[in-house]
Amino acid sequence: MSLAPVRFRDPLSTPDDFTGSVLVHCPRCDRIARVQALADAEEGTRGALFAPRRLVCRACGHARTWRGRSAVFSGSSRAVARDPYFRLPLWLQTETRHGRLWAYDLAQLTLLRRFVAASLRERDPWDEHGRKMTYVARLPAWVKSAKNRNEVLRAVDRMRASVTDR
């Protein structure tokens, strides 16, 4: 008797959907800090890509505000991943023998884990209307490969433990 395959259905989220809250290394004490989108009373842009951001470290009390007009996203799987606003290194990142694995927050890390652990991965057909270049579609081929599943899942679990153990 074989087990039924674990099914994953692409929720059609993009990398931008995870920028509302980003976990980074504090520039002062190098512990975990959070970059959070602020509610702007004038524009009503809470959670939008260019909404003002606030960096807060609970360990040392360091705080900064970002009100820029451009965000720079990480592009390489070899370089250190950074948050798009303050350009600080992401907390949730680790190196594997195939490349660097990273996530902005625990929600993105959970989605990555669900995708990698699934033996049956479903997406909308290309002729359907909707988003095509989702977060899952943009993952590198080595992350999607079944032969790397155990290594990627161990890396994801290490990243999650770095947040929950503190």
Q: Is the pLDDT of residue 166 over 60?
A: no
Tell me the pLDDT tens digit for each residue of 132-159: 788 998 899 999 999 999 999 999 999 9
- pLDDT interval class at 71 (50, 70, 90): confident
Q: Is the pLDDT of residue 83 over 60?
A: yes
Beta-strand relationship, 120-122 and 63-66:
unpaired
